[in-house]
Every structure is written in C-alpha cells, then in structure tokens.
Amino acid sequence: MTKTMTPTGKTIARILMSAGVALALAACSSTVVREGRSAARHGATIVVQRGDTLYRIATDNGIAARDLAAWNGVPPPYTIYPGQRLRLYPGSGSRSAGATRPAAPSARPPAASRQPSSPPVSAAAPADSGIAWRWPADGQLLNRFTAGDPTKQGIDIGGSGGAPVSAAAGGVVVYSGSGLVGYGELIIIKHSEEWLSAYGHNRNRLVNEGQVVKTGEQIAELGRSGAARDMLHFEVRYNGKPVDPLRYLPKQ
C-alpha cells in the first residue's frame, strides 16, 4: 500500500471537512464560511455521502455554512463523515450564526406537529450505545481522549507494525482511503444510524467501502502512516461527534 500522507498525529486538528476523496479535500481545506440568509427546512435532514463537505451541503440547500454547522453542533474544522445525518433547520435552543430570516408564523406548522425524521444530532451520547464493542488492537494505551481538544478525538494504541487491527463492532465500511490529513491509511465503519468508528495510521487496509464486516474481523494491519510510530488511532463517534472510546470499550 502506497503511503502518501506523512504528517504527524498531532496534525489531526487540521482535519478537513469531510471523509471524501483527496481531490475534494484539497479544494476545501481553506473554505470561507460566508454570511447570508438561510432557508431553513424544518423537519428535513440529509445523510452525508462520500465526497460531501459541510460547505457544499449548505450551498446546495440555500443555507449559510456556519448556520448549518451551528444547527448540528459541528465545531471547526467542520469535520463530517459519510453516513452522518445533518439537520437542515435549527434545533431546539440552537442559534443561527448568520442572518437567518424565519418564515412568517402563519406559514409554519405548529411546533407540536413538526416531527424531525431523526433525533437532534447534537444530543449527548448515551451511556449505553447498545453495541457490544471490543478492543480493535492489542497494545499499550498511549494517548487518551480529551473532550474539546481537536488533537485528541480518540485514543492511540501502541503496537508492532503489521499487527492485526480488527473491527470494534460489526457494520459497513463507509470509508477506506488516505484522504484525511493526519490519519494516514484510514478506515471508517458505520455501525448504526448514530454510531461510527474510525481506525487510523494503518500500514495496510484490508477492506473496501461497502463491505460488511463482523465484530473482531481483521480490517487492517497496524502501522505508522501519518504518525511518528507504529500505533492505531481509534475513534468512536456519535452522530458525527467524537466521544471517549474508553466509555464503551471493555475494561482492561
């Protein structure tokens, strides 16, 4: 597997907007969030596809990009993932960052009759994910998750190059590539409508997008692509937002 990404693990803070192809990433790395009026579409949601960026989705739906980010609790650098569901309207208590003009009261249905098609994506992650997680690799815990720190959105597990990396839970591979700066050879698995897991710095990726994998199935070989040493960077995300994997992995 050819490795084209060489930045250290600390460059994760510069992750770009989507887990799309590398060509799209290069064009979006310095996206400017523009002011403007947003056409909120109450009750409407959209599922992020490969190659999508927050700015593109906002533009296609007549929404200011920073409004869309604020409505969905997506902080800079506005990372979104394939399979993530975004609201195209403000949630309860959220504020529009742009000059959003609401529709006339008579044109809007009563609040009680509006039924969002999915739970608000900014909701806190539940204590029980309903998923039987397992450790994706054997090795020493090198770095822990730190809430709010864009360089510590997951945990790092040390190991030897070539050691097996396994799916922490069953699901569908929604990304397999090297297009996210700082992650090296990366795999993302979608486990449910709300839950994703990500596996970075692999030496080799052994699964393709769209492939169904089982819990414990080997998906990669541990490596140091995009890192200074051999290790696995592992993230768990709830509705696209990083959460502490140690809350859900079995105690060691």
The closest alpha carbon to 19, from 194, 181, 217, 167, belongs to 181
Question: Which pLDDT band, with edges at 50, 70 and 90, does 123 fall under?
Answer: low
Find the radius of gyration of the CA atoms of the chain: 19
Are 61 and 125 in contact, with CB atoms under 8 Å apart? no
Segment 134-162 shows an average pLDDT of: 94
* pLDDT, tens digit (0-9, with 9 covering 90-100), for 74-98: 876 677 878 888 889 887 655 444 3
Q: In the prediction, which pLDDT does 151 show? A: 84
In angstroms, rounded to a whole number, what is the distance separating the alpha carbons of residues 232 and 239? 22
pLDDT at 17 (0 to 100) = 34
* CA 20/CA 81 separation, integer angstroms: 8
Query: CATH topology for 126-247?
Result: Glucose Permease (Domain IIA) (2.70.70)
What are 12-25's pLDDT values in tens digits? 333 333 333 332 33
- Residues forming a β-bridge with 87: 45
Q: How far apart are CA 184 and CA 231, in angstroms?
A: 11
DSSP string of 100-153, one letter each residue: --PPPGGGS--GGG---SS--TTSPPPS--SS----SS-S-EEE---TT-TT-S
Confidence of residue 73 (pLDDT cuts 50, 70, 90): confident
Domain boundaries, the chain: 126-247
Structure letter (DSSP) for residue 65 = H
Q: Look at 182 and 105; give whichever has higher pLDDT.
A: 182
